[in-house]
Amino acid sequence: MGALSDFDLAALIAAHGGRYLVETGAGKGDGVEEALRHDFLQVYAIESAHKLALDVALRHSENHKLTVIHARSEKGLREALEEMEPGLPAIFWLKDPQELRVLASLRDLSRDVFLIGFENGEAGLGEVLAKTHKIDASLAYPLKSSA
Amino acid sequence: MLTGLAVSTASGRVEGFDFRFSKGRLAADEMFDSATSPPARYVVELARRIGGASSADLLAIANPLLPLKAAQIAGWLKEGVREPMILASADGFPLVYCLPRALFAEIERFLLTLSAVDAELDQRLLEGLTGLSLPRRRMQGITIGPYPVSTPTGWFQGPARQGVLKVTTANAIKIVESRKDWRDLPVAAFHPYHAGSIIFFAMASRDVTAPLVTRQVVCSSYRDIVAASGLALDPVWLKLPFLPRDNSVGEPQYFAHSLNRLGESVLRDNFVVFMRYSRVSAISPFHMIDHDRFTLGESLTRPDQLRQLQPPLVTERCALPAAPLKVLFHATGGTSIKNYPLDYAKVAVRCLRGLGIEVSVIGRPDLEPFGAISIDADETDALTAAVRRHHIFVGLDSFPHHYVRSVMGWPTIGLFGATGAANFGGGWTPHYRAIDSALACHPCGAETGCPVFGTAECINYAKPEHLIAAILSMAEQVYGFVVE
C-alpha cells in the first residue's frame, strides 16, 4: 500500500482545486499528517478500527480541520459527504476501488480526484475508474518519485 | 445523607431535613439514586424537596458529596444564618450553599453547573447567577482533604473527575460573566456514549415533563441511533470516536479532548454539564432510564412514577402468523464473560429447533451447525429489519437488547450475567422479562473473566432450559403460540 506522501498534493490542489481530502482506512494517521500540511477546508479520515481512529482523533482533537470518522468505509463516506459542499472538488485517498461504487452513487464525481492505494504496494490513480465507473481517468498524476 | 435546612430569617426558626439514597421504596425521607446525576443535581433536588416542604425564605443545602446531617450543619450555623452565603471547609471544599428559597427555583437549571468540589468557583458562579454578594465563610476546624476516588455511599469523584466538574463550572462562569443573554442559553448534557446509554438517555428524554436540560452532547457516530430512538433533546454532535471501554483512555482525559473538539462557540453557547456516571449504578435498584429521567429533571419521589413500574412507552409485536415461531438471538457481548455461554447457546438452539421454532443468531456462524441461521445486523437499520422478521428477541445487556426492548417495544427476553438486571433490564411486562441464575455474586460487573470461579464465561447466565421456558411462556402470552 502506498502512502499519501508519495503524491504531490500541492500540485494536485493547484491543478484541480481540491478543497477536501477524504481518506479511507486512515490507520495510524500518516495520511492525515500529510494532508494537514495542506490548505484543505476539511480533512476526513475514515477508520473502522476503533483504537486507531481514537488515537488519531485525540492526537488532533484541537484541529477542527480534521474529522476522524470511526466507521466502515461506506458508512464513513456517507457521513463525510453529508458535510461536504457538493460543488467543491475533493481528493479521495481510497484503499479499495470498490469504495468508488459508493461514491459514484452519492456524488457528482466529475471534479474530484481519486488516489487509490493498491494491495500490491503501489499507489496511483487506478485505471479501474475508467473501466468500471466511466469516470474520466485522465487525471493520472505521477508519484513524486517518478515526477 | 442528603441534607439541608429551611431557615425563616425573620423568626430564626430552623427546620432540618435528612434524606438518604433510596433502595427502592422512595419513602418520604428517601431520594432517587441516579448514577448519571452529577452532585449538583442533588443540590437542585434537595432545594426542591426542602423548599416544597417549608415556607422558609432561606435554604441551606449541604454538599451531596459529603455524609452530613441536618443537626451537624445546624450546629455549624448555630450563630444563625440570615443571609445568603457559602460555607466552606478550611481547604476550600463547599459544605453548605445558603440561598433564598425563591432563587433556588429561579436558577434551578443553571445550578447543575455547580462544581460541589470548589467553594471559590461555586461562589463566583452563584454570584453571577443570582446577582447577590455571597460571602464565603470557612470552617477553620474542618478539612476535607483529598476526596476519595470512590466512597461507601457510591460516589466516584476523585481528583480527575473533580477536574471535570471544575471545568464545567468555569465554563458556566465565563458564560454568565460575558453574556447578558445567558438566561436564554441551553443546558447541554455531556452524555456522548455508549450506544446502550444513548438509548436510555433518549427514552428518558421522551419521558420527562419539565427537563432541566434541552441539549445533549453525543458522538456523531451514533447519529443513526439518535434518529431511531427519538431523542427529545437537541443533539450537539461530538466528532470524536467514542470512549473505549478498556480504560485505555480515562473519562476525564476524554472529556478534555471533547471540549477541544466541541470548540469555543459550543462552549460559549451552552452550559455543559457532565452527565456520564458519577455514582456506582449497581448500588441503585432503579432502571437506567429512570436514572436518566431523574438526571434530566424528573424528581421521582413515588414508586408509581418509575417507568419500570409503568407500561412501556412503546409496545409492538410481530405481524407474522404465530407459527412457525421465529426467535432472533443476540448472544455475543464482545468478550467471553459477556457472551451467553457457548454450551448453553448450542443446547438452546438445538432444543428450539427440535420444537419447530426457527432461530436466527446475529453474527454467529458457529451456531449454524446446531440449527441456527446466522445473520448480519450490525447497523441499526439492519437490526430493526431483522427484528421485524421475528416474533421474539433474546438479547444480552448491550445495545441491541436496549434498542429492541425500549425503542421498538418488541417482545424481548434479556439475559443477564455479570451486570445488573435491575439497572439494565428490570420491569417485567408481557413484552419483557429479564432472566439470570440469581447467583449471589450477581452483579459483579466483570469485564474480562469471572472473579469468583476464574472461568472465562459467566455462570450466572440463565441455563438453556430457563431460557426456553421464558421464550415459550412469552410466545403463548403475546402470540398465543403453543408448541404442538
B424 by Cβ neighbours in 10 Å (0-12 / 13-18 / 19+) ranks as buried
Domain layout of chain B by residue ranges: 2-140+160-309, 326-479
Residues of chain A with pLDDT under 50: 121-143, 145-147
The rounded Cα B89 to chain-centroid distance in angstroms is: 30
> The C-alpha cell of B357 is what?
421454532
Higher pLDDT, A1 or B54: B54
Residues of B whose CB is below 8 A from A79: 220, 223
**Average pLDDT of span B307-317:** 92
Closest CA to B256 of B270, B267, B269: B267
Q: Do A62 and B260 touch (CB under 8 A)?
A: yes
ipTM rounded to 2 decimals: 0.87
Reported as a pLDDT band with limits 50, 70 and 90, residue B178 is very high
In this predicted structure, what is the pLDDT of residue B46? 98
Per-residue pLDDT tens digits for B257-289: 999 999 999 999 999 999 999 999 989 999 999
pLDDT at A118: 59
pLDDT of residue A1: 58
Q: Which residues of B touch A (CB under 8 A)?
A: 220-221, 223, 239-242, 244, 248-249, 254, 257-258, 260-261, 263, 379
| pLDDT on residue A119 | 53
The rounded percent of chain B whose pLDDT value lies above 70 is 100
**Residue B298 in grid coordinates:** 424528573
Whole-number percent of chain B with pLDDT over 90: 92
Sort out which chain A residues have CB atoms less than 8 A from B221's CB and list them: 69-71
A54/B241 Cβ within 8 A:
yes
Q: What's the rounded Cα separation, in Å, for the pair B72 and B52?
A: 22
> Contact at 8 Å (CB) between B417 and B399?
no
The confidence score (pLDDT) of residue A132 equals 40
Q: What is the DSSP string of B270-335?
A: -EEEE-S--B-GGGS-S-HHHHHHHHHT----SGGG-GGGS--S------S-SSS-EEEE----SS
Q: Where are the domains of chain A?
A: 4-142
Query: Which of chain B's residues have a Cβ under 8 Å away from the Cβ of A75?
Result: 379
CA distance linking residue A98 with residue A121, whole number of Å = 17
Residue B426 has pLDDT above 70, yes or no: yes
CB contact under 8 A, B240 and A68: yes
Q: Using an 8 Å Cβ cutoff, are B165 and B159 in contact?
A: no
**Distance set, CA B49 to CA A99, B100, B207, B278 (Å):** 58, 14, 21, 21
What is residue A95's predicted lDDT score, i.e. its pLDDT?
84
Question: pLDDT of B347-397, one tens digit each?
Answer: 999 999 999 999 999 999 999 999 999 999 989 999 999 999 999 999 999
In the prediction, which pLDDT does B90 show? 97
Q: What is the pLDDT of residue A138?
A: 42
Give the pLDDT confidence of B63-84 residue by residue, as tens digits.
999 999 999 999 998 777 778 9
Quick check: B307 and B289 in contact, CB under 8 A? yes
Are B379 and A50 in contact (CB < 8 Å)?
no
Which pLDDT band holds residue B158 (cuts at 50, 70, 90)? very high
Q: Do B220 and A79 touch (CB under 8 A)?
A: yes
Neighbours of B148 (CB within 10 A): 12
**Per-residue pLDDT reduced to its tens digit, B186-240:** 999 999 999 999 999 999 999 999 999 999 999 999 999 999 999 999 999 999 9
Distance of alpha carbon B293 from alpha carbon B200, whole angstroms: 9
**Which pLDDT tens digit goes with each residue over B137-147?**
999 999 999 99
pLDDT of residue B119: 98
Per-residue pLDDT at B448: 86
| Residues B425 and B438 sit within 8 Å (Cβ to Cβ) | no
What are A29-67's pLDDT values in tens digits? 999 999 999 999 999 999 999 999 999 999 999 999 999
Question: For the domain B326-479, what is the CATH code?
Answer: 3.40.50.2000
For residue B257, what is the nearest residue in chain A, using CA coordinates?
A61
Classify domain A4-142 at the CATH superfamily level.
Answer: Vaccinia Virus protein VP39 (3.40.50.150)
Q: Report whether B104 contacts B59 (CB < 8 A).
A: yes
For chain B, what is the mean pLDDT?
95
CA distance B384 to B402: 12
Q: Which of B151, B85, B86, B80 is nearest to B116 (CA)?
A: B86
Q: Confidence band (pLDDT; 50, 70, 90) for B418?
A: very high
Whole-number Å distance between alpha carbons of A9 and B109 = 50
H helices present in B153-194, as ranges: 159-178
Q: What is the pLDDT of residue A142?
A: 42
Strands B85-89 and B94-100: antiparallel
Q: What angle do CA A50, A53, A58 make, to 5 degrees?
A: 120
> Pseudo-torsion of CA B284, B287, B289, B291, nearest 10°?
-10
